[in-house]
Amino acid sequence: MAYIKKFSEKNEGCFLCRAAKENDDKNNLVVFRGKACFVILNRYPYNNGHLMIAPYRHIGSISDLDDDESREIMKLLKLSIKALKEEYKPDGFNIGLNLGKVAGAGVEDHLHFHVVPRWAGDTNFMPVISDTKVIPEALEESWRRIRERFIHLTA
């Protein structure tokens, strides 16, 4: 209940911009910062280790990415997959982005890629019967594990 109350208050503005600007990576779930882009743990994950990669700039279209942002997003995508493979040993990944509300974008105007680790049998009756997803690891623990793995891989 403490977790639900902590995040149930409506925050104004773009959470990605806020996370990019603030110097509180643990609270904002930022696991890695590059020069033009950063990696953040999804606060409402589909699975444990659900990451998002976003540019620091508040842009909503792939065509608005400059060359440095484009290169770094791909670099961070590769690094995210490697970190998650080593830390969680998933069987596969869902990777992509949702452009526009009709495509499922929760945040339409700040481009971000999703990296979702998947395991054989990771879905069960809970989402079907009660529209609920069970995540077996606390976000704080996921943040610690993934951040440490990024530090190790980039040292």
What distance in Å separates the CA atoms of residue 139 and residue 103, rounded to the nearest whole number? 26
- Which of 50, 110, 112, 114 is labelled catalytic? 112
Angle between helical axes of 139-154 and 67-88 (0-180°, round to 10): 110
Nearest to 143 by CA among 92, 83, 55: 83
Residue 58 catalytic?
Answer: no
Tokens of 102: 């009709």
Looking at the annotation, which residues are catalytic? 112
